[in-house]
Amino acid sequence: MACYNGLRRTMPAESPFRALPSVDRLASDPRLRPLRGDAPPQVVAQLAREVLAEARAAVAQGRPAPSQEQLAEAVLHRAQAVLRPSLRPVINATGVIVHTNLGRAPLSEEAIAAMEAVARGYSNLEFDLEAGERGSRHVHLESLLCRLTGAEAALVVNNNAAAVLLALTALCQGREVVVSRGQAVEIGGGFRIPDILRQSGARLVEVGTTNRTYLRDYEEAIGPETAALLRVHTSNFRIVGFTHSVPLREMAELAHARGLVVIDDLGSGCLLDTTRFGLAYEPRPQDSLGEGADLVCFSGDKLLGGPQAGIVLGRRDLVERLRRHPLARAVRLDKASIAALQATLLHYLRGEALEKVPVWRMIAMPLREVERRARRWARALGSPAQVRPSRSMVGGGSLPEEGVPTRVLAVAGDGAWLVEVARRLRLGEPPVVGRIEADALLLDPRTVDPRDDAALVAALKAALAAAAV
């Protein structure tokens, strides 16, 4: 205790913050040596700074200061999370074939090889090798799409939302677009048709009711400001019961008689006949063109089975207007996606889509093959695994509630334990995603590449062992 001019001053207790090391001291801790080959000193220092900031906040709330060993472990843990790519391969055992959250359609081996080939070096993306001068990136896909669908012209952009936005902006800006009220829909990610129309500068005119729209509704809505009739395929939901919709052919006849265009937004889009596989009919772009649509828009990474892309097919004069619009450059497709889509389209042209395109290979996989794999998984795991009948869903905003029969590996148990096993599976290496239904964790072989069977079984064994501790 000290005394100054007759006054006594109490010395403060040792501050808990002084137990924390400096940034430099922590960054040079010998336990962090393994990081030196993976991260430069400034990155290690930044990680140390972040860990120390969190430690100071914890001390300020009354918690004890962590030891330097604990702080070094925290830096190592953070470095592992920061330096490892967050986008990782996942084994999809959910039974949802086109799984939006798991990257939608997996690509064929040929599509992957095509992407690698053009990414590794230079390519003739926009160079005419014969003429020796500047070319166009559009030539690599247009002829294939026209040959497969009978379209006069084609344009590919980076997704279907961009395709619809480009079509409406280039053809309908400042004018009216007539849409059935039951088709003013929202799809995943908050993509709403009314919002896209507003963004394009076109004015939405809704006709009919949610469940019933007639040709006369379109006739009465057409005026001097009308630019187009828009049909939107309700690809991710169904309205059943007391319903009525106008066939595309009738819409086209009306539009053409009034000098208007018909734009058909198919959403997913599909080049094959889905009824061959016991599924409901999914409109194909070639069918829409045959029924009179002037432009058809659809996705490349759903039932087509290619990379993310938005495809526009139709009349040459209209496609050219889209191609010349300034927005077309902002939404154009990159070289790797062009290469992957070209390889995917060649599978269809060669008649090998069922064997080569993973989405269609999964849909067409015989039930006996799925059951054989499920039973092999069950034998490898033993109790409590069993094989059950179920359904694999198409997913991806395509064919709502449609699926094909399957067999799944079922691991039965109580709810909390199943949730823990599923969590351990997701956090394993490789991550495995299944689904919980009622009293069991289900894993569907239909959506798992056969080359991943051994990895899935090993991951499930590890998750079951960890959850039992």
**Distance from the first to the final alpha carbon of the chain:** 55
104 found inside a domain? no
pTM as predicted: 0.89
Spatial contact of 102 and 448, defined as CB atoms under 8 Å apart: no
* Both structure tokens of 385: 């695994």
pLDDT greater than 70 at residue 30: yes
The tens digit of pLDDT for each residue in 222-261 reads 999 999 999 998 755 556 656 788 899 999 999 999 999 9
The tens digit of pLDDT for each residue in 80-97 reads 889 888 899 999 999 999
Mean pLDDT of 404-424: 95
The tens digit of pLDDT for each residue in 360-377 reads 999 999 999 999 999 999
Residues 6+ apart with CB under 8 A from 45: 23, 24, 27
DSSP 350: T
Res 469: pLDDT: 61
Q: What's the CA gap between 77 and 223, in Å, rounded? A: 65
pLDDT greater than 70 at residue 20: yes
Lowest-pLDDT choice from 74-83, 124-133, 161-170, 201-210: 201-210
Res 197: pLDDT: 80
* Both structure tokens of 428: 């394993």
Residue 215 shares a structural domain with residue 232 = yes
Q: What is the mean pLDDT of the chain?
A: 91
Spatial contact of 310 and 191, defined as CB atoms under 8 Å apart: no
pLDDT greater than 80 at residue 468: no
* Both structure tokens of 402: 């449609």
Residues 6+ apart with CB under 8 A from 43: none
Residues 6+ apart with CB under 8 A from 242: 211, 212
Res 10: pLDDT: 47
2 found inside a domain? no
Residue 72 shares a structural domain with residue 182 = no
DSSP 34: G
331 found inside a domain? yes
412 found inside a domain? yes
Residue 197 shares a structural domain with residue 317 = yes
Mean pLDDT of 52-78: 94
The tens digit of pLDDT for each residue in 320-335 reads 999 999 999 999 999 9
Res 2: pLDDT: 46
The domain that holds 439 is classified in CATH as: 3.90.1150.110
Closest CA relative to residue 198, chosen from 174, 171, 226, 179: 174
Per this entry, what is the length of the chain?
A: 469
* Domain of residue 377, residue span: 91-99+365-468
The tens digit of pLDDT for each residue in 188-215 reads 556 677 788 888 888 989 988 878 888 9
Residue 114 shares a structural domain with residue 63 = no
